[in-house]
Amino acid sequence: MTFAKRFRNKPFITLLLSALVAATSLCPPEAFAAPQKTVKKSKAKPAKKAVAAPSDYYTGEFVNFGQWKEVQAFVDDMVSKHGFARTELAALLSNVRYLDSVVQLVKPAPPGKPKNWTVYSSRFIEPIRINAGVRFWNDNAEALARAEALYGVPAEILVGIIGVETIYGRDTGRFRVVDTLTTLAFAYPVAPNRDARMAFFRDELEATLLYARQTGTDPLSLQGSFAGAVGMPQFMPSNIVKYGVDFDGDGRIDLKNSPADAIGSVAAFLVGHGWQRDQPGAVVYHATVSPSRAWEQYLNLGLEAKIRPEDLTTAGVVTTSSLPPGMLYGLVDLQNGSEPTEYWVASNNFFAITQYNRSYFYAMSVVELGRAVRITRAGS
């Protein structure tokens, strides 16, 4: 039985503080206090029956993270680097849960299953998401137009990303971010890249605590995906700090409830990762390849545009429309299982999208969903 199942729908249990906490004088400020609920008693009305935990509340197992050597080293860093009070962090750790469900979700998929672009894209380029995209575009046309003018990112790309990520805010994640990041920072499953991934999530936990302190947010109130991503655009906490934009002008950045903030922040992220506003032509161009296979040398060259169009032509790559001269490109292969592979020639702006999620499939889904929404909206 997983930890999540063991604790599901059980009432909140107040635990003894960890040995680390007991050794200190515990007096946490409001910003780090666990949220409290006040129940008013009334003699006029009978007591209500206990209400089950909401469906969007993921429980886990309380563990004494404060006694883990690696966690203690992290606390030392937060105290020395950022001036956090040790008692505050100890109070926070006493409320953090270990999420076995998250550990299971980040484990790599079993090998041997071939990539299939058609199957992958069918999850995103489908009527429910397209129609939701049309409504999102209509409802936020002003913010999308303003972001396109300010950052040079077309509205359809912004719509595509937010649609692929969360269906326009419909599913922003139901895990407590601090639980998720602490679990993955210190209990990541065995994998070849385990050390690098743990370091990544420790950095994100650090960013979460800094963000919470800067904004006066209770860190335990932040919810997100099983990987710790937050809001409509699924920003990791460090990216909220770097690229978050108060695009609706209300004095705060709210990526969960403000579509305008999400739109502006996605545009700022893309520009920060190489999006070029004046780049002519399309983001990608459909291509055919010659039987000579000389073009294979241009596959798997990383997530950036490196190839001159004349070199692609010489190698036997032919696009269905002309490539703007004076630019560099990349050759993208979208594998289709046992069916023929699709080939596309990608511009620099396509590779900017891959910095959001390092996948050709992801970036192409963004492009295709945005295009489908634009066409559907124009015809409605």
The pLDDT tens digits for 293-334 are 999 999 999 999 999 999 999 999 999 999 999 999 999 999
Q: Per the domain annotation, does 115 fall within a domain?
A: no
Is 148 contained in some domain? no
Same domain for 183 and 307, yes or no, is no
Q: Is there a contact between 58 and 175 (Cβ–Cβ < 8 Å)?
A: yes
Q: Which residues of 243-253 are buried (b: 16+ CB within 10 A; e: fewer)?
A: bbbebbeeeeb
Q: For residue 82, give the CATH number of its domain.
A: 1.10.8
pLDDT tier at 13, thresholds 50, 70, 90: very low
Same domain, 187 and 301: no
> What interhelical angle do 69-82 and 177-186 show, nearest 10?
120
The CA distances from residue 56 to 206, 248, 269, in Å, are 25, 27, 28
- pLDDT of residue 185 exceeding 70: yes
> 186 with 64, same domain?
yes
- Domain extent at residue 68: 3-33+54-98+177-211
Same domain, 185 and 330: no
323 and 192 inside one domain? no
Judgement on whether residues 196 and 86 belong to the same structural domain of the protein: yes
Task: Please check whether residues 67 and 185 belong to one and the same domain.
Answer: yes
Query: Model-level pTM?
Result: 0.83
Phi, psi at 25, each rounded to 5°: -90, 110
Quick check: 174 pLDDT over 60? Answer: yes
How high is the pLDDT of residue 241? Answer: 95
Both 89 and 186 in one domain: the answer is yes
Indicate whether 122 belongs to any domain: no
Q: In angstroms, how far is CA 250 from the centroid of its own chain?
A: 24
Residues 50, 54, 60, CA angle at the centre, nearest 5°? 100
Share of the chain above pLDDT 70, in %: 84
The answer to whether position 378 is within a domain reads no
Instruction: Look at residue 199 and tell me if it is in a domain.
Output: yes
Residue 193 lies in a domain: yes
**End-of-domain residue from the set 163, 193, 211:** 211
Q: Is 165 a catalytic residue?
A: yes
Query: Does the residue 128 lie in any domain?
Result: no
Q: 320 lies in a domain? A: yes
Selected catalytic residue, list 88, 165, 204, 206:
165
- For 57, phi then psi, to 5°, come to -110, 110
**Number of domains forming the structure of the chain:** 2
Please return the burial class of 304, using the count of CB atoms within 10 Å of its CB with bins 0-12, 13-18 and 19+: middle
Asked whether residue 92 falls in the same domain as residue 203, the answer is yes
* pLDDT-based confidence at residue 84 (cuts at 50, 70, 90): very high
